[in-house]
């Protein structure tokens, strides 16, 4: 079955890469596994052979209809739906949080990661194949050129590890970029509580809207220079130089009535 450009499909076929991902995932019976974008089942079938229950979310109707559980192994349920609009929380239970994995379509990866942050409390961990540039943004430290809104938001709620890089030749058709596999683990105790999350999200969004400008400009109308200094932050800094702890301090200076309450 040929890849469909509108779905951003690049099918993983390299056996070594597949084995490394499954080994890192280490699926166990009794866990709730959820695969996003199974495609032809390159990861699906090796995972099912571990005897697990697997929910697969595939937007391509032809591919979703072709996926079938092997005669032996685990249980497979396929959802022919868009992962951006899927109700992940509905799959979780009080005793089983979700273990997500997959080769994410690069055209929706960033948006999907922001979407999954809203369900972080229902997720045990995530193993994703991403465009390498996006993976590097996820782990970017303060001062790095790769650091952006995605870096700060993911790191506020999750621990992130870049596991290994994957060359274009591991896929069919090969993408124009290199890829990487990351392991994302939602924190048991996030850096900030629910009551602070809207203000934090708003400050981070504003700070990175015009990343070449300093905080005194990007946060104007939201925080005064005096309020920025009261947070222990230099108004002359740019957003990518700040640590998450500094963003938390800035959010504490933002009056709740000033926040737009925008979503991540």
CATH assignment of the domain containing 243 = 1.10.8.100
CA distance 44 to 146: 32
Query: Is the confidence at residue 9, as pLDDT, over 90?
Result: no
263's tokens: 């979503």
Whether residue 240 sits in one domain with residue 173: no
Question: Which of 157, 186, 215 is where one domain is finished?
Answer: 186
Whether residue 247 sits in one domain with residue 118: no
Residue count (the chain): 264
Q: Per the domain annotation, does 247 fall within a domain?
A: yes
Looking up tokens 């621990």, which residue turns up? 159
Whether residue 236 sits in one domain with residue 130: no
Q: Kindly indicate the confidence band of residue 208, based on its pLDDT and cuts at 50, 70 and 90.
A: very high
Q: Per the domain annotation, does 209 fall within a domain?
A: yes
Whether residue 227 sits in one domain with residue 177: no
Q: Per the domain annotation, does 223 fall within a domain?
A: yes
What is the per-residue pLDDT across 136-178, written as a single tens digit (0 to 9) for each? Answer: 999 999 999 999 999 999 999 999 999 999 999 999 889 899 9
What is the per-residue pLDDT across 46-89, written as a single tens digit (0 to 9) for each? Answer: 999 998 999 999 998 988 888 887 766 779 999 999 999 999 99
CA distance 238 to 208: 9
Q: Which of 128, 88, 80 is nearest to 108 (CA)?
A: 128
* Dihedral angle of Cα 228, 232, 236, 242, to the nearest 10 degrees: -100
Q: What is the pLDDT of residue 259?
A: 52
Question: To the nearest whole number, what is the mean pLDDT of the chain?
Answer: 89
Whether residue 174 sits in one domain with residue 100: yes
Q: Per the domain annotation, does 109 fall within a domain?
A: yes
Q: Tell me how far CA of residue 54 lies from CA of 19, 74, 100, in angstroms.
A: 18, 7, 10
What is the per-residue pLDDT across 240-256, written as a single tens digit (0 to 9) for each? Answer: 999 999 999 999 998 65
Q: What is the pLDDT of residue 192?
A: 66
Q: Kindly indicate the confidence band of residue 264, based on its pLDDT and cuts at 50, 70 and 90.
A: very low
Whether residue 92 sits in one domain with residue 116: yes
Whether residue 105 sits in one domain with residue 149: yes
What is the 8-class DSSP label of residue 117?
H
Q: Kindly indicate the confidence band of residue 261, based on its pLDDT and cuts at 50, 70 and 90.
A: very low
Q: Kindly indicate the confidence band of residue 107, based on its pLDDT and cuts at 50, 70 and 90.
A: confident
Whether residue 203 sits in one domain with residue 141: no
Query: Is the confidence at residue 92, as pLDDT, over 80?
Result: yes
Counting other chains too, the contacts that 136-144 makes at CB distance below 8 Å and 24 or more residues apart are 136/162, 136/180, 138/113, 138/162, 138/182, 138/184, 139/182, 140/240, 142/240, 142/241, 142/242, 142/243, 143/240, 143/241, 144/240
* Contacts of residue 194, Cβ cutoff 8 Å, sequence gap at least 6: none
Q: Kindly indicate the confidence band of residue 262, based on its pLDDT and cuts at 50, 70 and 90.
A: very low
Q: Per the domain annotation, does 263 fall within a domain?
A: no
Q: State the number of CA atoms in the 13 A half-sphere of 187 facing the CB.
A: 13
8 Å CB contact between 201 and 264: yes
Q: State the number of CA atoms in the 13 A half-sphere of 10 facing the CB.
A: 23
Q: Tell me how far CA of residue 170 lies from CA of 5, 26, 115, 178, 210, in angstroms.
A: 18, 21, 27, 10, 36
Whether residue 176 sits in one domain with residue 118: yes
Residue 248 lies in domain: 194-258
Query: Is the confidence at residue 33, as pLDDT, over 90?
Result: yes
The CATH number assigned to the domain holding 36 equals 3.40.50.150
Whether residue 81 sits in one domain with residue 40: yes
Q: What is the mean pLDDT of residues 188-207?
A: 81
Whether residue 53 sits in one domain with residue 124: yes
Model pTM score: 0.90
Q: What is the pLDDT of residue 191?
A: 64
Q: What is the mean pLDDT of residues 213-218?
A: 95
Whether residue 173 sits in one domain with residue 202: no
Q: Per the domain annotation, does 264 fall within a domain?
A: no
Q: What element of type H or E holds 186?
A: strand 179-186
Answer with the residue of higher pLDDT: 190 or 89: 89
């Amino acid at each position: 079955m040929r890849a469909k450009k509108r779905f951003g499909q690049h099918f993983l076929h390299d056996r070594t890469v597949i084995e490394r991902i499954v080994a890192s995932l280490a699926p166990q019976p009794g866990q709730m596994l959820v695969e996003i974008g199974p495609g032809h089942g390159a990861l699906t079938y090796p995972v099912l052979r571990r005897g697990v229950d697997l929910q697969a979310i595939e937007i391509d109707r032809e591919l979703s209809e072709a996926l079938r559980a092997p005669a032996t192994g685990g249980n497979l349920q396929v959802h022919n739906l868009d992962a951006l609009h899927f109700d992940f929380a509905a799959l979780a239970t009080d005793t089983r949080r979700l273990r997500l994995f997959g080769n994410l379509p690069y055209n929706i990866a960033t948006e999907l990661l922001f979407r999954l942050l809203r369900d972080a409390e229902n997720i045990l961990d995530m193993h994703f194949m991403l465009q390498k540039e996006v993976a590097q943004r996820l782990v970017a430290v303060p001062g790095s050129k790769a650091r952006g809104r995605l870096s700060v938001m993911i790191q506020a709620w999750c621990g992130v590890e870049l596991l290994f890089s994957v060359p274009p030749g591991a896929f069919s058709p090969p993408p124009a970029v290199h890829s990487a596999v990351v392991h994302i683990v939602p924190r048991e105790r996030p850096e900030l509580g629910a009551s602070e999350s809207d203000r934090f999200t708003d400050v981070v969004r504003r700070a990175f809207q015009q990343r070449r400008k300093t905080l005194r400009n990007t946060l104007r109308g939201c925080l005064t220079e005096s309020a920025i200094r009261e947070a222990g932050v230099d108004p002359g800094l740019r957003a990518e130089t700040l640590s998450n702890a500094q963003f938390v301090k800035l959010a504490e200076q933002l009056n709740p009535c000033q926040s737009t309450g925008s979503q991540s």
